Structure 1
Amino acid sequence: MRARTVPTASGRTASGGRSRRGSRWVRAAHDRFLATGTPPAGLDPVVAESWRRSLRSGVDPDEPHPGRILSADELAQYRERHPLAAAMPLARAMLIESAVDDGLVVAVSDDVGRLLWVEGASRARGAVDRVGFVEGAVWREESAGTNAPGTALATRRPVQVLGAEHFARPVQALNCAAAPVRDLRTGAVLGVLDVTGGRAAGSRMVLALVRATAASLEAELARIAREHSGAHTAPGAYAAPDALVAANGLVAANGLAAAEGLGAALTPGAAVDLSVLGPRPAFATPRGPAPLPLRHAEILLLLAAHPAGLGADELAVLLHPGELSDVAVRVEMSRLRHSVGPVHVGSRPYRLARPLRTDADVVRGCLAAGDAVGALAAYPGPLLRRSTAPGVERLRADLSAEVRAGALAAGGPALEAWVASPEGADDHEAWTRLAALAPPGGPLAARARAHLSVLDDLLR
Structure 2
Amino acid sequence: MGPGAARSVNTVRTLRGPSGRESSRALRAVHELFVSGEVDVSTLDSTTVRPVVAKSWQRSLAKGVDPDLDGARPSSAALSIARLRDAHPLAPALPVIRRLLVDDAVDSGVVVAVTAADGTLLWVEGDPKARRRAEAMNFVPGADWSERSAGTNAPGTALALDRELQIHGSEHFSRIVQPWSCTATPVHDPDTGALLGAIDLTGGPQAAAAQTLALVRATALAVENHLALLRLTGTTVQPATRKPHLVVLGADRPRWVTTDEYGHLRAAMLTGRHADILVLLSRHPEGLSADHLAVLLDDRDLDVVTVRAEMSRLRKVIGAELLESRPYRLLMPITSDIGEVFDALDIGDVESALAAYHGPLLPQSVSPSIARLRTQLSASVRGAVLAECHRGNLAPLRRWLDSPEGRDDRDGWQVLHTSAAVGPVGRAQAGGHLAGLDFELG
Q: What TM-score, normalized to structure 2?
A: 0.48
TM-score with structure 1 setting the length = 0.46
Larger radius of gyration: 2
